[in-house]
Amino acid sequence: MAIEMEMEFEKESPKIYRFPQSKYIDALRWIPSPSSAFDRFISLALHDPDTDSSSIEIHSLTNQNPSLHLESSWTSSSRISALKVSQTPSKTLIAASSFDGSLNLLLTNPLNVVIESENSISDKDFHVGPISGIDLNGGGSECVTVGEDGRVNLVNVGESSLGYKTVFDSHGLVSYAAVKWASPYEFATGGLGFSLQWWDQRKPGGAVSQLKGDWARRSKSGIVHSIDIHPSRKHVCVAGGSSGTIFAWDLRWQQQPILLSWVDAQVGGVNSPSESEVWEVQYDAYMQSQNVSNTSSTRVLPVMMCSEDGILASIEQGGKQVEVLGETSSINSFDIDLQNPSDVVCSLEWESVVFVSRQ
């Protein structure tokens, strides 16, 4: 399989630009830009342990000779645990959850990305302890939050205020680590024991279906850290987690997940670019565009992942892997520019942002 991989992807190596920061980067996201002619923008969630301060910074990334320039920043009262960005023609919304259980929403001007207003929820009934995952829906009108406390909340993003309702509360019997919208009504969550849950707002009272955790019996169990759902294939949910595991869950065949990448502890088999925590997964539209013939509806679309052992790679069902970046430090998060899917930004443990252009 490895040979096949080399044969097919022998092409120009990606261009890599590194931008050292002087703070720890907790998360980073592209901010969609109104036009490709302008510089692009990136939002960073930063933490400085020396002063124990956290902030969200917006940087512009110049198109020519890529470099980062600070445009605006906002100080957070607590360390940021998750970051999401959503854009509509009239506004850009940055949602950031924190380790102390609050959610902050920053509204920026889509043209010059200056932060215009902020709103937050830090209610005691909202979340207790860290919020581990958030996701904004397409229109930026609703934000779903999940936490280690086992709560699933839906936040209604209004013009001037935020309202929320608790969809579910497991009282700590279950903890959630990741969440992703599938449709205006449905979303998926993931958590301990490689479990995934599917929720439908129209059917309240709990998850409508769940992927049983015992499928991972063959190897060590773990935690799902990240989920992605492709807008054109809402029935398939791809998840990444501990021990280099990446799998897809097809709601039409619920009982068994499709393994894309795994480490088999018992047999000693490795079919994964990484053997440690997969921190984030996202569908890789660039890889998808590279091999159009292979996108039959039964196959899982190519997925990009980043890991604790410093790998940024794209993988496909069937074991094909393309390593984009191999670092000596952990790659904690990444984001693919949906407008230019060949471009990726990622954050390194060692206080650096890396911009990779695969064109």
Partner 1 sequence: MPGRLSSSGDSVVPFSSEVRDPVVYHIQHGVKPPISRLSIAWSRGNCLRVSFFRPELDEEEVGGKVVEVKLSSGDEEFDDSQKRKIAYGSVSPFAVFQNQKNSILAMSKMAYHIDWSHQVMEYSRDVKSLLGYPSTTPSSVIDDPRTVLKTGEKPTCLKAAWELLEIFYADKQSHAWLPECLVDWLAVMILLTSDYDSLLSASEVTVHSKLVDLQNQLVNFQAVEDDRNYWEGVSSALSVGWFDTAVKLLRLHGSYQVDQLGNRETENGLVEAVAVLISKMPRMRPELSKRGLGECFKTKPDFMKAWEKWRGHISKLECSAFWIQCDHQQTRDGLRNLLQIMLGNTNSLEAATCNWMELYVSNFLYIRPFTMGLEGMYTLAQKCMQLRPMSNTHRLMGLIFGILGENIEVVLAECSREFGLWMVAHAIELLTAGSNQAEMLLHEERHNLGGISIEELHRLVYAQVLASHALTWQIAPVYLMSCMKQGIALLEILLYKQPVQHNRMLLKSLEICRMYQLDSISTNLMKIAGIYHWKHGRKGFGVFWLQQAGDELRLSRIAQQLFDYVGKSISDDSFKQWEGMIELLSSEAMSAGGLEFLHKYRDLKKSLQKVRDGIATDTAKQAVESLILLMKSPSTPQRFWLSLMHDSLKLLNWRERPLLNVSQTNLLLNKLQELSMARLRPDFCETDLPPQTLGTIRLALATNLGRAILEE
Residues that bind partner 1 (CB under 8 A): 20, 22-24, 49-50, 99, 128-130, 132, 148-150, 168-175, 177, 191-193, 195, 197, 205-207, 210, 212-214, 216-217, 220-221, 223, 242, 275-277, 308-309, 328-330, 349-351
- Contact yes or no for 301/295 (Cβ under 8 A): yes
> How far is the C-alpha of 269 from the C-alpha of 100, rounded, in Å?
40
- Contact yes or no for 259/213 (Cβ under 8 A): no
Least distance (Å) from partner 1 to the CB of residue 201?
Answer: 15
- Edge-to-edge strand list for the sheet holding 162-169: 131-136, 142-147, 151-157, 162-169
Least distance (Å) from partner 1 to the CB of residue 51?
Answer: 9
User: Residue 14 or residue 213: which is nearer to partner 1 going by CB?
Assistant: 213
User: Residue 274 or residue 321: which is nearer to partner 1 going by CB?
Assistant: 274
User: Residue 277 or residue 343: which is nearer to partner 1 going by CB?
Assistant: 277
Least distance (Å) from partner 1 to the CB of residue 128?
Answer: 8
> How far is the C-alpha of 11 from the C-alpha of 157, rounded, in Å?
45
Question: DSSP letters along 103-161, please?
Answer: EEEEEE-TTT--EEEEEEE--TTT-SS-EEEEEE-TTSSEEEEEETTSEEEEEEE-SS-
Least distance (Å) from partner 1 to the CB of residue 148?
Answer: 6
User: Residue 246 or residue 300: which is nearer to partner 1 going by CB?
Assistant: 246
> How far is the C-alpha of 136 from the C-alpha of 154, rounded, in Å?
10
- The 3-state DSSP class for residue 8 equals helix
User: Residue 4 or residue 125: which is nearer to partner 1 going by CB?
Assistant: 125
User: Residue 277 or residue 284: which is nearer to partner 1 going by CB?
Assistant: 277
Least distance (Å) from partner 1 to the CB of residue 193?
Answer: 5
> How far is the C-alpha of 42 from the C-alpha of 44, rounded, in Å?
6
- Contact yes or no for 126/118 (Cβ under 8 A): no
Least distance (Å) from partner 1 to the CB of residue 45?
Answer: 13
> How far is the C-alpha of 226 from the C-alpha of 257, rounded, in Å?
15
> How far is the C-alpha of 104 from the C-alpha of 83, rounded, in Å?
10
Least distance (Å) from partner 1 to the CB of residue 137?
Answer: 24
In the block, which residue shows the tokens 């510089």? 39
User: Residue 130 or residue 273: which is nearer to partner 1 going by CB?
Assistant: 130
Least distance (Å) from partner 1 to the CB of residue 311?
Answer: 13
User: Residue 201 or residue 276: which is nearer to partner 1 going by CB?
Assistant: 276
